[in-house]
């Protein structure tokens, strides 16, 4: 059976940009290898949730991995916490946290505390404390990122974010979303934790040093995306494929770990524009010897667009194009199935995720080709896949191998 390499370029899709002569970064990029795969494969446009629905990265990934977020998603927290290596238990409530900078009126000045080097010293202050018999688990991610988990009886994920999601806005108080005593109790715990963290953080020597150096202090903990772990069947149980994940950023590792994928490490794979993507692709090829499905996640296409850096996104796509060159002979020999797409569009002009469809190419074993010769938003409008929905993608790929479950007789 042919292995599948499943490459997600986060936020790949984009909109026509005036400075790129009304092309998108992908259209404007020189991508001879992606174009060769498009020529040798089939292309189309994918809407990862529904047409017109603007997705976060978490639900978009669940959907394109075949897990309907309406059943498997209650918040981003559990995927983030799992990605940082926290083993979640049933009943835990998990959050994504940011170390942030607030002024003395509790207005958010910087949602990422100047992308501080590490949240490790701050996570340590909170990890293991108890509030009203609820245990707090805190673990550092990259830079300002921190995962927070509440463990104890009677907790609910029906609570609001503390993170206002915007700068120059006041921090929010956590509120219950319904009248249940669990939601009220959990919201109260969160508010106590946030206040406690603020007291500890603002006095921390590291912050005193940051203020002296005119760096924004990490004096506030903004949590968001409260969620509990849903009852997942593993990727192997659902699809019968041995799977591995190559990702830099925590969220994607977390999703993969929850789906029972093997999490592998590639040195220098950090989810940033200087990530070792050459190493990731080499690793993916190597893993095809032992795995059926290799999920490769590349993050910076999204982050660059969220910062409005369309030219940098274009150049990063060109770097990706170089990095995937070693896949070409395997695709042409039909020894692999390679899928390249994104989880959503990130519009560089608007600096947000949008619901615009994302180009997709699938090449290698079993593929019926089409006439598209270039990988891009507009060329793929004419692709043989047409407009495909995210939840159908894994079934489509597994079918190419020729072994999927027969429905009927």
Which residues are near a copy of itself by CB under 8 A?
A: 15-16, 24, 45, 49-60, 69, 73, 75-76, 96, 224-225, 347, 350, 352-356, 366, 368-371, 377-378, 381-384, 386-389, 392-399, 402, 404-409
Instruction: For the CB of residue 383, give the shortest distance to a copy of itself in the complex, in Å.
Output: 8
Please state the φ and ψ torsions of residue 84, each to the nearest 5 degrees.
Answer: -85, 0
Please state the φ and ψ torsions of residue 279, each to the nearest 5 degrees.
Answer: -65, -35
Instruction: For the CB of residue 217, give the shortest distance to a copy of itself in the complex, in Å.
Output: 25
- Residue that is written with structure tokens 């003395």 in the block: 104
Instruction: For the CB of residue 150, give the shortest distance to a copy of itself in the complex, in Å.
Output: 18
CB count within 10 Å of CB 327 equals 22
CA angle 323–303–318, rounded 5-degree value: 25
Instruction: For the CB of residue 256, give the shortest distance to a copy of itself in the complex, in Å.
Output: 17
Q: Residue 164 gets which letter from DSSP?
A: -
For residues 250 and 76, the answer to whether their CB atoms sit within 8 Å is no
Tokens of 106: 């509790």
Instruction: For the CB of residue 55, give the shortest distance to a copy of itself in the complex, in Å.
Output: 5
By C-beta, is 233 or 371 nearer to a copy of itself?
Answer: 371
By C-beta, is 24 or 301 nearer to a copy of itself?
Answer: 24
Pairwise CA distance, residues 321 & 223, whole Å: 36
For residues 96 and 145, the answer to whether their CB atoms sit within 8 Å is yes
Tokens of 341: 């797409």
For residues 121 and 127, the answer to whether their CB atoms sit within 8 Å is no
Instruction: For the CB of residue 121, give the shortest distance to a copy of itself in the complex, in Å.
Output: 26
By C-beta, is 83 or 216 nearer to a copy of itself?
Answer: 83
Per DSSP, the three-state class of 102 is strand
If you compute the radius of gyration of the chain from its CA atoms, what whole number of angstroms results? 22
By C-beta, is 182 or 381 nearer to a copy of itself?
Answer: 381
Tokens of 288: 């095809």
Give 164: exposed, middle or buried? Use CB within 10 Å, 0-12, 13-18, 19+: middle
By C-beta, is 110 or 377 nearer to a copy of itself?
Answer: 377
Per DSSP, the three-state class of 80 is helix
Instruction: For the CB of residue 53, give the shortest distance to a copy of itself in the complex, in Å.
Output: 5
By C-beta, is 321 or 357 nearer to a copy of itself?
Answer: 357
By C-beta, is 205 or 408 nearer to a copy of itself?
Answer: 408
By C-beta, is 224 or 283 nearer to a copy of itself?
Answer: 224
The stretches of 324-380 forming alpha helices (DSSP H) are 328-332
Pairwise CA distance, residues 344 & 364, whole Å: 24
Instruction: For the CB of residue 252, give the shortest distance to a copy of itself in the complex, in Å.
Output: 13
């Amino acid at each position: 059976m042919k292995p599948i390499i499943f490459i997600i370029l986060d936020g790949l899709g984009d909109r026509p940009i005036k400075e790129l002569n009304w092309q998108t970064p992908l259209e404007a990029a020189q991508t001879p290898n992606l174009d060769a795969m498009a020529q040798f494969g089939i292309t189309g446009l994918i809407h990862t949730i529904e047409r017109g629905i603007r997705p976060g990265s978490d639900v978009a990934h669940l959907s394109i991995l075949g897990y309907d977020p309406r059943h498997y998603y209650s918040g981003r927290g559990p995927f983030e916490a799992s990605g940082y290596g926290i083993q979640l238990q049933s009943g835990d409530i998990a959050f994504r946290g940011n170390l942030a900078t607030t002024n003395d009126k509790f207005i958010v000045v910087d949602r990422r505390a100047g992308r501080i080097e590490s949240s490790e010293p701050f996570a340590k202050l909170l990890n293991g404390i108890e509030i009203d018999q609820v245990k707090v688990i805190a673990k550092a991610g990259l830079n300002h990122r921190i995962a927070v988990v509440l463990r104890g009886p009677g907790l609910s994920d029906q609570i609001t974010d503390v993170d206002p999601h915007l700068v120059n806005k006041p921090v929010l108080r956590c509120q219950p979303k319904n009248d249940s005593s669990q939601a009220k109790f959990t919201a109260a715990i969160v508010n106590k934790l946030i206040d406690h963290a603020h007291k500890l953080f603002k006095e921390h020597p590291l912050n005193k040093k940051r203020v002296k150096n005119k760096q924004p202090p990490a004096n506030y903990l903004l949590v968001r995306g409260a969620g509990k772990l849903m009852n997942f069947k593993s990727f192997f149980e659902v699809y019968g494929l041995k799977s591995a994940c190559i990702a830099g950023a925590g969220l994607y590792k977390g999703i993969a770990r929850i789906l029972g994928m093997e999490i592998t490490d590639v040195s220098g794979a950090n989810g940033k524009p200087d990530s070792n993507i050459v190493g990731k692709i080499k690793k993916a090829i190597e893993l095809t010897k032992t795995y059926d499905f290799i999920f490769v996640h590349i993050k910076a296409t999204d982050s660059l667009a969220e910062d409005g850096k369309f030219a940098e996104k274009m150049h990063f796509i060109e770097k990706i194009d170089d990095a995937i060159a070693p896949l070409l002979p395997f695709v042409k020999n039909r020894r692999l199935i390679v899928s390249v797409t994104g989880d959503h569009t990130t519009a560089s002009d608007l600096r947000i995720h949008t619901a615009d469809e994302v180009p997709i190419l699938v090449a290698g074993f079993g593929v019926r080709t089409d006439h598209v010769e270039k990988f891009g938003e507009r060329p793929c409008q004419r692709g043989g896949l047409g407009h495909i929905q995210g939840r159908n993608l894994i079934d489509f790929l597994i079918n190419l191998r020729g072994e999927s479950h027969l429905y009927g007789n």
